[in-house]
Amino acid sequence: NSIEQILIQLRERQIAVEKVETYKLQERAATQERTLREKEALAEQQAKITTSALTIEISENEGKAQLARTRQEAETIQVTAKAEAEKVRLAGRG
């Protein structure tokens, strides 16, 4: 009877040890999963930040290109106006 009682206690102790080990492993797995989810969320946000930065840079470049075109058009109009004025002046002399 006492040997049987000792065996039962040993079995119960072993089960308790196994449960503790299982809980530790589950806790470690949960922590790793949480860390993974955080890293995935961070990576997703980083992708959005990169896309946003590129969109801003593209918009700035498009604005600079538009400004350059507008300046060129203004210069063309100015040169054409001067040429027309000179043409009128020369025609008036003739």
Inform me whether the pLDDT recorded for 94 exceeds 80. no
Give the model confidence (pLDDT) of 3-13 as tens digits. Answer: 999 999 999 99
Rounded Cα distance, 84 and 1, in Å: 123
- Across the range 70-94, mean pLDDT stands at 94
pLDDT-derived band at 16 (thresholds 50, 70, 90) equals: very high
Specify the pTM. 0.53
Give the model confidence (pLDDT) of 27-71 as tens digits. Answer: 999 999 999 999 999 999 999 999 999 999 999 999 999 999 999
More confident residue, 94 or 24: 24
Structure confidence at residue 93 (pLDDT): 84
